[in-house]
Amino acid sequence: MSAEIRNIAIIAHVDHGKTTLVDAMLHQSGVFRSNQVITERIMDSNDLEKERGITILSKNLCIEHNGVKINVVDTPGHADFGGEVERVLKMVDSVLLLVDAFDGPMPQTRFVLKKSLDLGLKPIVVINKIDRPGARPEEVVDMVFDLFCELDANEEQLEFPIVYASAKSGYARFEPGDDNMDLEPLFDTIKQNVPAPEGNPDAPFQFLVTSIDYNDYIGRIATGKIFNGSIKEGDTVARIDKDGNIKRGRISKLIGYQGLQQVSIEQASAGDIVTIAGFEEISISESLACVDDPQPLPYVNIDEPTLSMNFIVNSSPFAGNEGKYVTSRNIFERLQKELRTNVSLRVEETDNTDTFKVSGRGELHLSILIENMRREGFELAVSKPEVIFKEENGQRLEPIEYLCIDVPEEFQGTVIEKLGRRKAELASMKQMDGTNRLEFNIPARGLIGFRTEFMTDTRGTGTMSHSFVEYAPYKGEIDSRKNGVLIAMDAGETVAYSLFNLQDRGILFVAPGTKVYEGMIIGQHAKENDLVVNANKGKKLTNVRASGSDDAIRLTPPNILSLEQALEYIADDELVEVTPESIRLRKKILDANERKKSEKKK
């Protein structure tokens, strides 16, 4: 049976068209009825995935094509979700490497490709968006080959098959100039080049857990691949944890895939990707095996977190006004629940019972968790992200990121100068159509707060992406934010008259009528020092009217920070207050006199 199975993962940089290609494959394989209403990017099922246009969680689907069952895993393209990628690569026998015909290989392409090459997988390269203006498919193939060489691919991996495609238009071709208008060349390439799973259906049962979820009806469910043997609903199997401890359990539900749908199945065998229920304590990378001869499968190592921040119980004067879940117990329970499925996350308790140290793979990884929590009704305060250092042989090491920037030539000098101050080292510079591609190695610390500054400096025309490379010796101090902040003096509502007088002092973060409290940050000061200001003072009313001075007040629109921008912006002595309705910036110590005392102690 496994001879008619192909297990493949789709990997690509953010926005290169993975999920759109999966949509097209589903349509052409007859999964949907001809009159069925289908949303775009159907695999992005999470609300945040749809809003941001990125894949966060890896997902499985099954496509039947001319008697061959193709199990496809759609993986995240962002390096912050690399923990998802590393696990799913253990389930598949090849990868579909999707590369934009204009952009070429990008940092996250590099990150995931390195993982798959290290596992010995032989990729199929799909050059997507060949109908895009400015597409240069032949050039991009050369760039992909260079990348394979750079990542130490073996000779077999360097002989990769190539398919040219337009996922949006739903066609694939063996040559860019063909007139083929369907995906048959892609399906044929998968069947011919992806090896059938190696497992033996008659050997003792072995199953590796690669993802975990929870179902309200059947409890905890584990998804993974059957490496050997076969299984039926109701069978008793052994669960082997990472320490080698063995516990027995019964499979209460066996679930397979039909298109996008999960369907109950009676049995499955080697090569199948299935979901199993019946084990309440099961975790990622654990094995299920036959009771008579329980042999574990190799444990999947996940890269360690590189960034941490403190999640703190909200202590502002507005605490509890907007959120349902506000206590330390609520926050801790939610973080423990996240740990069940989010393998790249670490949660530690601290000396303070109201503070938890949460570590992840990057700002996006942690901000997605915070955004999900606020949508669920949680209220909390979050500290500035900090990189995680390591000590080896008495030397302090820090995480280094590979940074790729595409920027118009006129802004190139400014970007290089700013990154130089952040200890970045320029690795290469290439000219492209109208833009220059700059590649740097930069300490992860240097990227905190850089994105907002970068978008301002390039007037929104630059693009940047980065991925973790290695731990390297500490690069020295990096200057933090240059400007101070404007801090509210009293509680109340902001008044247009006061804000009008304050806008010469810097950039405002609040609009008129915003509720503020003492110690809340309402703007950025034009100078380096912090300034305590009164934003609630109205104009004194008299009977005298002067021509000109009573004209309508014209306010510059405030700079409303998003969650990511707020996390990047804050300094060490500041917090971001996150509630279901608001994102506020505040000082850790709200009282101005207490702040002065604490500064003197330093």
Binding residues for GTP: 15-20, 128-131
Three-state secondary-structure class, residue 549 = coil
| Helix and strand element counts for the chain (H, E) | 15, 35
For residue 19 the two structure tokens come to 């999920």
The C-alpha angle 121, 123, 124, rounded to 5 degrees, equals 150
The strand pair at 171-173 and 162-166 is best described as antiparallel
Residue 205 is given by DSSP the state: P
Q: Report d(CA 170, CA 509) in Å as an integer.
A: 45
Torsion angle of the four alpha carbons 305, 309, 313, 317, in this order, in degrees rounded to the nearest 10: -160
Q: Report d(CA 358, CA 364) in Å as an integer.
A: 13
Which residues, in sequence order, are CB contacts of 199 under 8 Å at separation 6+? 2, 206, 226, 227, 228, 229, 269, 270, 271
Helix/strand/coil (H, E, C) string of 119-188?
CCCCCEEEEECCCCCCCCHHHHHHHHHHHHHHCCCCHHHHCCCEEEEECCCCEEECCCCCCCCCCHHHHH
The neighbour count for residue 258, using CB atoms within 10 Å, is: 14
Structural contact between residues 248 and 291, judged by C-beta atoms closer than 8 angstroms: yes
Which residues are annotated as part of the binding site? 15-20, 128-131
Structural contact between residues 157 and 150, judged by C-beta atoms closer than 8 angstroms: no
